[in-house]
Amino acid sequence: MKVWEIRDDWSMEHLVPGERAKPAPGPGQVLLRMKAASLNFRDLVVPKRGYGALTGTLPLIPISDGVGIVEAVGEGVRRVAVGDRVCPLFMPHFHGGEPNAERLTRTLGGPIDGVMAEWMVLDEGGVSRVPGHLTDEQAATLPCAALTAWTALVTCGAIKAGDRVLVQGTGGVSLFALQFARMAGAHVIVTSSSDEKLERVKAMGADAVVNYRSVPEWGKIVREMAGGEGVDHVVEVGGEQTLNQSLRAIRIGGTISLIGVLSGGSLDVKLGPIVTRHVRLQGITVGHRDGFEAMARAIGQHGLLPVVDRVFEFGELREALAYLASGRHFGKICLRHPQG
């Protein structure tokens, strides 16, 4: 079968097409005929071994997110049946409950082989069915980006109607956060570096927008946009250049979900106001299967459509990653598998 592999050394130049034997499912396992994949920011980090030892060993099949059809099942499989359309879970060993090292670190697309293969074999516990109204490309966006936004706002954030939410940027996680916040009946403020992208989020229902490039001190403005008190939730993907602004924008008792460090990963920050304003800083690492299944039900119930910017062919992985790195995208970048 056709695969993409990071082979011989850790670099983008060593990300190459290859061939492997088609796998067969053992007891408790499922064989998926893969249909589509989607890219996340981490897929630019993995080929450079950016997560150190947690990135895995070579050769490695990259990319965490995809969708496939169950083509065969091993003995004793009960959770899914032949013909079901399922996503491999980003953290196939995190089914629910509290996080621990094994649950959080055994992730697809590094250190475990990812979805850029025509077929995959997974434990039946490591896959979940997807809503029927989605195209394969849309369904392929759910395991990391969508679940991260869901975990931040719903599982950990307990968002409710009337809440005020700040979403940073217009990448994969952020547009799902906008959509889930709207679904929950929240007031949503979005930042972006691009006025054109801000027009697009307004069309998706954002209540207020700020260009973080032309207004670098946007924290106070966002606070005013949120009735002067500040927002209840921040979906924080910027890190170094955004957290101090988020701390200005958050209300007393609000929650900042720390998800990404797009602008850098260390920071000089005044801790006093976090204490005296009772702010919760919540680290988020994707999420568990229970969360995925709750999210899939909500997406099905509301007919939510993930925002797919562009679809590349399986053989165009390197072009698709270069497009992701350019930052020109709005939402998700997807790939169609040879049998997609």
Ligand X SMILES: NC(=O)c1ccc[n+]([C@@H]2O[C@H](COP(=O)([O-])OP(=O)(O)OC[C@H]3O[C@@H](n4cnc5c(N)ncnc54)[C@H](OP(=O)(O)O)[C@@H]3O)[C@@H](O)[C@H]2O)c1
**Residue 122: which of 6, 17, 2, 23 has the closest Cα?**
23
Using rule CB under 6 A, residue 295 touches ligand X = no
Residue 93 is given by DSSP the state T
CB atoms within 10 A of CB 185: 11
Beta carbons of 83 and 70 less than 8 angstroms apart: yes
User: E strand or H helix at 292, and its extent?
Assistant: helix 289-302
Question: Residue by residue, what is the 3-state secondary structure of 122-168?
Answer: EEHHHEEECCCCCCHHHHCCHHHHHHHHHHHHHHCCCCCCCCEEEEE
Candidate list 36, 86, 165, 173; residue touching ligand X; CB under 6 A? 173
Measured from the CB atom, the residue of 89 and 145 that comes closer to ligand X is 145
| 313-316 CB contacts, 8 Å cutoff, 24+ apart | 314/2, 314/4, 314/116, 314/338, 314/340, 315/17
Measured from the CB atom, the residue of 25 and 126 that comes closer to ligand X is 126
Sketch the per residue contact string, 185 through 224, with ligand X: x for CB under 6 A, - otherwise. ------xxxx--x--------------x------------
CB of 25 to ligand X, least distance (A): 29
Beta carbons of 143 and 65 less than 8 angstroms apart: yes
Candidate list 237, 249, 250, 256; residue touching ligand X; CB under 6 A? 237
Cα gap 84→110, rounded to integer Å: 25
Q: Which of residues 79-118 bind ligand X (CB under 6 A)?
A: none
Retrieve residue 246's tokens. 């988020």
Beta carbons of 3 and 17 less than 8 angstroms apart: yes
CB of 325 to ligand X, least distance (A): 8
Q: Which of residues 36-55 bind ligand X (CB under 6 A)?
A: 40-42
Q: Which stretch binds ligand X (CB under 6 A): 153-161, 177-185, 253-261, 270-278?
A: 253-261
Measured from the CB atom, the residue of 30 and 250 that comes closer to ligand X is 250
Candidate list 47, 62, 238, 340; residue touching ligand X; CB under 6 A? 238
What contacts 197, CB < 8 A, 6 or more positions away?
A: 170, 330
Q: Which of residues 131-150 bind ligand X (CB under 6 A)?
A: 144-145, 148
Measured from the CB atom, the residue of 128 and 192 that comes closer to ligand X is 192
User: E strand or H helix at 296, and its extent?
Assistant: helix 289-302
What contacts 321, CB < 8 A, 6 or more positions away?
A: 12, 15, 39, 43, 44
Measured from the CB atom, the residue of 105 and 285 that comes closer to ligand X is 285
**Residues in the chain, overall count:** 340
CB of 14 to ligand X, least distance (A): 21
Measured from the CB atom, the residue of 126 and 171 that comes closer to ligand X is 171
Binding-site size, ligand X (CB under 6 A): 33
Measured from the CB atom, the residue of 29 and 148 that comes closer to ligand X is 148
Measured from the CB atom, the residue of 25 and 143 that comes closer to ligand X is 143
Measured from the CB atom, the residue of 30 and 225 that comes closer to ligand X is 225
Q: Which stretch binds ligand X (CB under 6 A): 2-10, 22-30, 114-122, 279-287?
A: 279-287
* Residues near ligand X, by CB under 6 A: 40-42, 144-145, 148, 168-174, 191-194, 197, 212, 237-238, 241-242, 259-263, 284-286, 324, 327
